[in-house]
Amino acid sequence: MKLYLIRHTSVDVPQGTCYGQSNVPLKSSFEEEAAIVKQNLNGIEFDAVYSSPLSRCRKLARYCGFQDDVQWIDRLKEMYFGEWEMMPWDHIDDENIESWYENWVHLPATGGESFKMLYDRVASFLDEVKEQNPENVAIFTHGGVINCAKVYAGDSTLENAFDKVPAYGEIVCFTI
């Protein structure tokens, strides 16, 4: 099975904002960025197309021509940061933030989830897709989810999954 994991285009939030599962606006460069993604997917026949239901992924999937054939999957949402959503990282006034920085893999954000929790939901989804034995699968999603897929594919570990974060609009391919 070949996975084409497509990260949404650039978001229009202040640099350093913890936005996780919040629906946020996209930059005015959306059409330019999305056209490149669409061109890079041109000619690939997909057996299945999945997407995070968050607006930034939904909009890109539709722009790329996937309408009725997309399955919107909650498990493909970005990591949920709970009470920290939409706060600047350097203004989060929470007694748990320092512990979280030291052990973000296993400790959840206050009211949210840990990276391991995100990984578990992404891995369970990928297990189900793999059972269907598709050849080519497109997944419109988020940087954290793509990094979980890297771990799932054996290209990374939980601890170093964020050593390289995919760029906005980047397509990351894996064969599983």
Average pLDDT for consecutive 10-residue bins of the chain (176 residues)? 98 97 98 98 97 98 95 98 98 96 97 98 98 97 98 96 96 95
The residues near 11 (Cβ < 8 Å, ≥ 6 apart) are 19, 24, 25, 26, 27, 56, 168
Domain boundaries, the chain: 2-175
DSSP state of 25: P
DSSP state of 164: S
pLDDT of residue 14: 97
Radius of gyration over every alpha carbon of the chain, rounded to an integer in angstroms: 16
pLDDT of residue 169: 98
- Strands of the chain, DSSP E: 2-7, 17-18, 48-51, 70-72, 87-88, 136-141, 171-175
Residues 6+ apart with CB under 8 A from 27: 9, 10, 11, 12, 33
Q: Which class does domain 2-175 fall in?
A: alpha beta
